Amino acid sequence: MQSVFRIILQRLALGLLTLFVVSIVIFTAVNMLPGDFAQAILGQGATPDAVEAIRRDLGLDQPPITRYFQWLGSAVQGDLGNSFAQANFASFVGADSGVRTTVAQQIAPRFANTMFLAAVTACIAVPVSLVLGILAALFRNSVFDRATNVTTLTSISSPEFFLAYVLILFLAVLNPVLPSLSNIFEGMSFGERLEKTLLPALTLTLVVTAHMMRMTRAAIINLLASPYIEMARLKGMSPMRVIVKHALPNALAPIINVVALNLAYLITGVVVVEVVFVYPGIGQLFVDSVKIRDIPVVQACCLIFAAAYILLNLTADIMSILSNPRLRHPK
């Protein structure tokens, strides 16, 4: 058990290091974006003086290295800075209200929405993929297996917006069972939220199922030639039991990794679906912020995405390790 503990600590340290490297990459990349916020906000007719004033006010005149460490230093303390876009530039015309929205305030509700959507999707997609994968492995090369493969592959190959519109057509327009707009706001009950979220969640389920289902199927089938599977068969165990009890526990590691990868995708890569359903998630905020060069928000979003990826992969690593009895119970 001690060795497992050490491995977990090592992975955690490695995760933090990765996050640090990613923060450098993010900062550099964002700074390489053409144009700058002051120019963007003031438009074509801006006087150089005004541009310079805003730049100074936001600290954009500092050298990049100084800015990076200022940003990192406060980010570590939980302060992601102030949003440029929400800042009140009225001060430049002499009427500063003194109120500035922090990035955290802006991101928090959006991120919560995104997590909600991801959670709902995961609750549908993960069990469905596992069950389909197990059944496909059980009835491999049957009509069922092929049909499942073709269906999931078709859905993963289709563009997300197309799937979204198809679902809207069938579930909102032709049979109005679900709302086609997912405009969520604060103060909604859980039930209402769930109802509004269901259509985007179903769309995303179609997108992520194929990968997880096929990995489950492949990981199980990979083991079916093992001597211990033959042994289970020779003990007269039913095919279902052979797969669920004997193959699945040994196939968990690759499955867990693919599930983690897809969950990370659900948090970071769902902009298109958010746009189609007008879902107020972090993806839309991210795209909007890039558009107006709201650098603190862009950087914060990137950092959150990176952290989500690293954290989920870390969890997957640790769970794969724990799924191996050799590591759980050393000699």
Partner 1 sequence: MSALVEIRDLWIEGRSDEIWSPIINGASLSLKKGEVLGLIGESGAGKSTLGLAAMGFTRDGVRISKGSVMFDGIDLITASAAKKRELLGKRIAYVAQSAAASFNPAHKLIEQHTEGPVQHGVMSRSDSVEDGIELYRRLRLPNPEEIGFRYPHQVSGGQLQRAMTAMAMSCRPDLIIFDEPTTALDVTTQIEVLASIRDIVEQFDTAAIYITHDLAVVAQMADRIKVLLKGDEVEEADTRTMLSHPKEDYTKSLWAVRAFERPQKPAVHTNATPVVSVQNVSAAYGKIPVLHDVSFDIHEGRTVAVVGESGSGKSTTARCITGLLPPSAGVIEFDGKALPANYKSRNKDQLRQAQMIYQMADTALNPRTTIGDIIGRPVQFYMGLTGKQKRRRVEELLEEIEMPAAQYIDRLPSELSGGQKQRIGIARALAAEPKFIICDEVTSALDQLVAEGILKLLARLQDDLKLSYMFITHDLATVKAIADEVVVMKEGKVVEQGPKQEMFVPPHHPYTDLLLSSVPEMDPDWLTNLLNERGVDNIGDAAVDKMS
Residues written for the chain: 331
Question: SS3 of 126, please?
Answer: helix
Give whichever of 237 and 275 is closer to partner 1, judged by the CB atom. 237
CA distance 248 to 220: 6
Neighbouring residues of 189: CB distance < 8 A, sequence distance ≥ 6: none
Min dist CB 240 to partner 1, Å, is 11
CA distance 110 to 122: 18
Min dist CB 303 to partner 1, Å, is 38
Give whichever of 193 and 241 is closer to partner 1, judged by the CB atom. 241
CA distance 267 to 64: 29
Give whichever of 80 and 229 is closer to partner 1, judged by the CB atom. 229
- Interacting residues with partner 1 between 310 and 329 (CB under 8 A): 325-326, 329
Considering only residues 194, 226, 240, 278, which one is a binding residue for partner 1 as defined by CB under 8 A? 226
Instruction: Note whether 331 binds partner 1 by CB under 8 A.
Output: yes
284 near 182, Cβ under 8 Å?
Answer: no
Instruction: Note whether 1 binds partner 1 by CB under 8 A.
Output: no
Question: SS3 of 82, please?
Answer: strand
Region of 12-20, 30-38, 164-172, 221-229 interacting with partner 1 (CB under 8 A): 221-229
CA distance 199 to 163: 11
Min dist CB 278 to partner 1, Å, is 46
Instruction: Note whether 225 binds partner 1 by CB under 8 A.
Output: yes
Instruction: Note whether 237 binds partner 1 by CB under 8 A.
Output: yes
Region of 90-98, 171-179, 198-206, 225-233 interacting with partner 1 (CB under 8 A): 225-233
Region of 98-106, 205-213, 234-242, 271-279 interacting with partner 1 (CB under 8 A): 234-242
- Interacting residues with partner 1 between 241 and 270 (CB under 8 A): 241, 245-246, 249-250
Considering only residues 13, 16, 123, 231, which one is a binding residue for partner 1 as defined by CB under 8 A? 231
Q: For the chain, first and last CA: distance in Å?
A: 11
Helices assigned H by DSSP within 168-277: 190-223, 227-234, 239-241, 248-268, 271-277
Min dist CB 238 to partner 1, Å, is 7
Tokens 């959670």 correspond to 119
294 near 37, Cβ under 8 Å?
Answer: yes
Among 260, 263, 261, 298, smallest CA distance to 282 is for 298
Region of 74-82, 89-97, 230-238, 265-273 interacting with partner 1 (CB under 8 A): 230-238
- Side-chain-side CA neighbours of 24 within 13 Å: the count stands at 6
Phi and psi torsions of 118, nearest 5°: -60, -40
Give whichever of 94 and 236 is closer to partner 1, judged by the CB atom. 236
Contacts with partner 1 by CB under 8 A lie at 225-228, 230-238, 241, 245-246, 249-250, 325-326, 329, 331
